[in-house]
Structures are given as C-alpha cells and as structure tokens.
A = this chain, B = another copy of it.
C-alpha cells in the first residue's frame, strides 16, 4: 500500500516537472515564432515597396527610357512577383487591412483575420452558402405573405407575421454586413458600397419594424406601403439568387485554376464566367430600376397622404438611394472589368 502511495507521489512530482517544461517550451516557441514572423513581415513590406516603386517607374516611362516592349515584359514580371507574394504563403504576413468601425462596434477589438489561406477560402464559401440559403427564404417568405394576403387574409395583412419577417430581415442584414466586413479584413476586394448597401437595408428593416400595420377598414390603401416593401424584398431574393450563382461559379473557377483574384489582372478574367456577367447585368439593371420605382411609389404614397407616417417616407428615400448606388457601382464594376 505504501508502495502505491509512493507511486502517486512520484507521478505528481513528474506532472509538476512536465508543467514547468511545457511552460518553457511554449515560451521559447512563442518568442522564436514571433521573431521569425516579424522578420517575414519586414521582408514582405520591403518587397511590396520595391514592387510599387518599380511599377511607378515603369508606368512613367515617358522619356522612353526603355524599349516599350521591354517595359511591357518587365511590367509582367513585376505582376508575377506581386502574385507570388499576394496569393502565396507570404500573404499571411502582409500588413492587415484595418478593421472598420462596424466590426469594432459589435465585436470590440478582436482580430477577425484568418491567418491561413484555406480558412479564408472556407469563410468565403460559407458566406456564399449562407447567401444561398437566405436567398431562397427571401423569395419564399414575402411571397407567402402576399399570397396568403389575397387568398386567406382578405387583402389585409395581419401585423404579427409581417413583423416577424421584418425582424428576420434585420437579423439577416446584420449578419451579412458583419460577414462582409470580415471578408474585407481577410483580403476580399469587395467594393465598400455593397457593405453600405447592407447598412441601408438594416436601417430599412429596423424602421419598418416601427411601422404600424393598420387593419380594416380600407386595408388595401393603408397597407400599400407594406405591400410595396414586400414586393421589393422578393425582387431582392431574385437578385441574390442570380448573383450567387455567378459568384460561386467565379470562386470555383478561381480555386480550380489555382489562381486567385490578382492573377486575373495578368491572365484576364476566365471567359466563361465573364460571359455570365454580361447576361447577369441587364437583369440586375432591371431589378435596380424596379427598386427605384418602388422607392418612388413609397414617396408618392407618403406625399399623397394615404399613409403619412415618416417611416414610409424614410424607406422611400432609402430605396431610391440604394437603387442609384447599386446602379453606379454595377456600372463601375463593369467598366473596371472591360478595361482589361
């Protein structure tokens, strides 16, 4: 018996020893790794600035210092160097993009940058599949409300399901805005507008929650605003579904070819997906026109005075703003792409 006591005592001693050793190994690993990490960071920064300097030198080749053909070749070499740095393992050591105020507001000073490329891709894929799941609901939920309205509810939407839907919208847009900010920190080139667009949509969902849903009599007239809002939401669902299809394919093509966005600049966009964009955009333009139309109708409703709440006015203005912004940014995207 005393022997097994001895054994336990020994084991405890060993455990304490191991804990100390582990602490030492961990400390030395951390300090070694952070030194290496810092040196890689420095090298990335200095290489990046060399590339920038040479790039500006080449593009200001106005005195024809270099043979234009040679200049083109050198420019291409520089691009290759940039691709190696930005898309390879060195990318983890690039200085992080600053996290915007939106993330700070909700999450505090936590860092949401994934250090590994494969996790960054996973985040992007998960974002796409999240959008897919929601796009279907986006279509289904308001459609169900509008159908039930004319079939069962006698032209008069009850408040509760509409409010439930609006709360869901608010939750959804908040999630999208957070995720897009996270993607941005992780190196996505998403235009800031698409994120602002979701802030606007958040504002709209929030305001629509406070929007009183009046009942009989004269339901159809009083609920005109809500009805337009639901129609806009359905249209958003269609836009999202189309956009998702295109963007997922684009991501997969990129992954399959083992080259990421910046390589596009060198080799051009993959033709197949590019073609889709020219199909997608006219539909997007139509939807954006409809968005503006719904916004103007809301404004009209507010001015004529059938529904004179400030909420209707506010949503109308927001919708018009969003339509204009979406249009401008889609056009700019197209122009940027056709330049290559």
Question: In the bound complex, do residue A109 and residue B123 qualify as a contact, i.e. CB atoms below 8 Å apart?
Answer: yes
CB-based nearest B residue for A30? B89
The stretch of A173-181, A234-242, A250-258, A263-271 that contacts the partner chain: A173-181
| Residue A15 CB within 8 A of the other chain | yes
A37, B33: Cα distance in complex, Å = 10
How many residues on chain A are close to B (CB under 8 Å)?
Answer: 79
CB-based nearest B residue for A113? B110
Question: In the bound complex, do residue A110 and residue B88 qualify as a contact, i.e. CB atoms below 8 Å apart?
Answer: no
| Residue A340 CB within 8 A of the other chain | no
Question: In the bound complex, do residue B123 and residue A119 qualify as a contact, i.e. CB atoms below 8 Å apart?
Answer: no
Protomer copies: 2
Question: In the bound complex, do residue B111 and residue A50 qualify as a contact, i.e. CB atoms below 8 Å apart?
Answer: no
CB-based nearest B residue for A179? B108
A164, B163: Cα distance in complex, Å = 17
| Residue A148 CB within 8 A of the other chain | no
Interface members, chain A 20-69 (any B CB < 8 Å): 20, 22-23, 25-27, 29-30, 33, 36-37, 40, 43-44, 47, 50-51, 54, 57-58, 65-67
Q: Pick 26 A–B contacts, CB within 8 A, sort by A.
A: A9-B74, A12-B78, A15-B47, A16-B81, A18-B47, A18-B81, A19-B47, A19-B81, A19-B84, A19-B85, A22-B40, A22-B47, A22-B84, A25-B40, A26-B92, A33-B33, A105-B175, A106-B175, A106-B178, A106-B179, A107-B182, A108-B130, A108-B182, A159-B210, A210-B210, A212-B212
Other than the known A19-B85, A108-B127, what 6 A-B pairs have Cβ atoms closer than 8 Å?
A12-B77, A22-B47, A26-B89, A26-B93, A107-B107, A109-B119
